[in-house]
Amino acid sequence: MGLFTRRSQDTATATTAATAVDPALAALTGDYVIDAAHSSIGFTVRHAMVTNVRGSFDAFEGGLHLDGSDPARSTASIDVTIGSVNTGIGDRDAHLLGSDFFDAELFPLMTFRSTRAAQLGGDAYRITGELTIKDVTRPLSIDLEFTGSATDVYGNERVGFEGSAEILRSDWGLTWNAALEAGGVMVSDKVKLGFDISAIKQA
């Protein structure tokens, strides 16, 4: 089932596609709110060149607009509370919140706003948008898998997505590091992002 497709430049092709919309897909059309209690936003970064440190942001909110009749019109947005960063070590979290990294007092939110979407094949998609960290906004593409739709036991209509992306933190001005005696650095520039999203359709 395709949720996001490129808008055709050929009118005849677009008209044909519009008349062949999957009814199950069309039924998903609407506005959705991300259910943070059943979603996660995580990250993985290499530490001391030998192991990975994993963390998450535990407070965030956002929404999706899905257009099943014209999936290219679908959009996504999310606001992440930087102060909710959680790596399981209080001192490390405090360092991340300070001026060496996120400077959370001055920049309390990280935001993403989609600008376009494309189907890669099957249930695989790529959502492109603008990620803002601190005072820097740069493009970000997130590869997503549509994991399905269902009505839960409370009657909520849900859709699910899993996604991943990689960024260089230095592109957003997060450049702090420390050199190791044996060579290399304490924290890798590359950061892997992971998303597991459940969203509830609004009435």
> Which tens digit of pLDDT belongs to each residue from 150-190?
999 999 999 999 999 999 999 999 999 999 988 899 999 99
pLDDT per residue over 57-85, tens digit each?
999 999 999 887 777 788 999 999 999 99
In 134-186, DSSP assigns E strands to 136-151, 157-168
The predicted structure's pLDDT at residue 97:
98
Q: What is the per-residue pLDDT for 118?
A: 82
pLDDT (0 to 100) of residue 127 = 93
Residue 2 pLDDT class (50, 70, 90 cuts): low
pLDDT average, residue stretch 110-138: 92
Distance CA 8, CA 28 (A): 21
Categorise residue 103: left if φ over 0, alpha if ψ from -120 to 50, beta otherwise: left
DSSP code for 87: -
